[in-house]
Amino acid sequence: MVFEFKIDKKANYALIHVSGELIEKGQAAGLLENAEGLVKENFNKWAIDLADLKYMNSSGLNTLIQLLTKARVAGGEAVLYNMNKKINELILITKLHTLFKIAATQEEALKMLEI
């Protein structure tokens, strides 16, 4: 399954939708480049929708950490939401739930971003 992403820019934040499988570093290059573009356009609050992300490994975790870092360095935040059970377990096992803000729904994610 191919990894894909879509970014929807809103008034003062961006919704980032990811789908497929994120298992190779190179798969996320476009996403990370687009994230740089968001920062340059002063979009530094990101709600990252993981509902359609079926599987990820350490490369996928690294991508999420890079996104979070880009947002925070720019003075913003990134919130993960709509995780499936497998992705949620991976986040818990790796203790990354202590690093990320995690929400169940888009509405909760936007509240965490203070939108």
Percent of the chain with pLDDT over 90: 97
Note the pLDDT of residue 103. 98
Task: Return the domain boundaries, the chain.
Answer: 4-110
Architecture of the domain made up of 4-110: 2-Layer Sandwich (3.30)
Q: What is the 3-state secondary structure (H, E, C) of the chain?
A: CCCEEEEEECCCCEEEEEEEEECCHHHHHHHHHHHHHHHHCCCCEEEEEEEEEEEECHHHHHHHHHHHHHHHHCCCEEEEECCCHHHHHHHHHCCHHHCCEEECCHHHHHHHCCC
pLDDT in tens, 21-72: 999 989 999 999 999 999 999 999 999 999 999 999 999 999 999 999 999 9
pTM: 0.95
Averaged pLDDT, 9-25: 95
